[in-house]
Amino acid sequence: MSGDEDIITAWFARQSKLSANDYSIGIGDDMAAIHFRGGDILVTTDMLIEGVHFDLQSASLHQVGYKAMAVSLSDCAAMATVPVGAVVAVALPKGYGQKELKELHGGINDAAVKYSCPLLGGDITKWKATGGLCINSTITSRGGGGAPVLRSQANSGDVICVTGQLGGSGLGRHLNFEPRVKEALRITGLAKLNAMMDISDGLSTDLSRMCKASGVGAIIEAAQIPISQAAQKREDPLDSALNEGEDFELLFSLSAAQCQKLQHLWSGPVEITQIGQMTKNAEIVLKKADGSSEPLRQGGWDHL
C-alpha cells in the first residue's frame, strides 16, 4: 500500500507530458534531467521545515543550513552525479535578521565547500504571521562519467545493497550526515549498477518505491541489515533501521557478478552490505533471523 505522497506524485507524473529527448528523467526519481548541448543537467529541490525536519531546541541554525544542502546533495549521490551549484531560499520567523542568516549561511557554506557545490544565489523572505523556519535547497548536478543511475531499472535476481548503517538518525545523525556523493561515483566507477536511490524516508518505504518503479519485488534478510549503533538505543533497533528514515545512505541493485566485483574492489571506510535480492514476484518480503518471513510493512515517512 503506497502512502498519500506516492499517490499524488504518481498523479503529477501522469499529468506531465515531457519529451524524452529534452527531459530524459522527469517526475518521480531523485532528480530530473534537462538535455543541454548533448549532455544532461540534473536538478533536485528539497524543502525542510521547522518541527518536521529539524527542531530549533536541539539543532543550531548552522546545522539546519548544512542539512538543507546535504539532503539535496544526497539526491545527487542517489543518481551518481556531480553537484555543480546550489540556490537556497528561506522563510524566516519573525524576529530573525542578519545574525540568523549568517549562522544559516555558515552551515550552507560548510556543505558547499566540502562537496564542491557553491552557493550561487537564493531568496529571503520573512513571515508576517506566526510561522516556522523554512529552508529550500535546489542543487544542479551533471553526469559523473556514466549516465545517471535511475531507481526504475532494477532487475529480478539483482543483489540489493546499502552503504553505511541504518536507523537512529533522529538521535543526531540527521543533522550532520555525509551525503554519499563520492561513494556513489566510486561505486559506479567500479561496477555497473541497475538502480540506485538514497534512503531518505526509511528503507522499507524507499525500497518499495524502487521495486514499484522497476516492476519487481524483493526479499530482504533482516539479519543482514546493517543496524547503526544509534538504532541500538531505540526500543526496536530493526524497526528503526527499516522505518525511521533520514539515513541518507545509498540503496542500490546490481547483478550478482557485478556485486562480487564491487565487493572485491571496494575498500572502506564506508561499508557496502548485501541485504537481499530483487524478485519477480511483486511482493516485498522480510526474512527474519528465525527463518520465518513476513510482508515488509512500509513504515517509513509519508510527508502527507
Which residues from 71-90 bind a copy of itself, rule CB under 8 A?
84-85, 87-90
Q: Is 93 exposed, middle or buried (0-12, 13-18, 19+ CB in 10 A)?
A: middle
Measured CA angle at 158 (ends 217, 247), to 5 deg: 75
When binding is defined by CB under 8 A, the residue of 14, 21, 57, 97 that contacts a copy of itself is: 97
Per CB under 8 A, which region of 8-16, 150-158, 188-196, 262-270 contacts a copy of itself? 8-16
Of 36-55, binders to a copy of itself (CB under 8 A) are 36-39, 41, 43-53
Q: Which is nearer to a copy of itself, 133 or 227 (CB)?
A: 133
Q: Which is nearer to a copy of itself, 36 or 294 (CB)?
A: 36
Task: Name beta bridge partners: 36.
Answer: 39
Quick check: 61 and 104 in contact, CB under 8 A? yes
When binding is defined by CB under 8 A, the residue of 56, 122, 224, 285 that contacts a copy of itself is: 122
Of 223-252, binders to a copy of itself (CB under 8 A) are none
Per-residue cell: 282: 511483486
Instruction: Count the site residues for a copy of itself by CB under 8 A.
Output: 72
Distance of CA 83 to the CA centre of its chain: 14
My answer on whether omega of the bond before 295 falls inside 30° of 0, hence cis, is: no
DSSP 8-state class, residue 159: E
270 in contact with a copy of itself (CB under 8 A)? no
Q: Which is nearer to a copy of itself, 288 or 303 (CB)?
A: 303
How far is it, in rounded angstroms, from Cα 92 to Cα 61?
Answer: 11
Report the nearest approach of a copy of itself to the CB of residue 77 (Å). Answer: 16
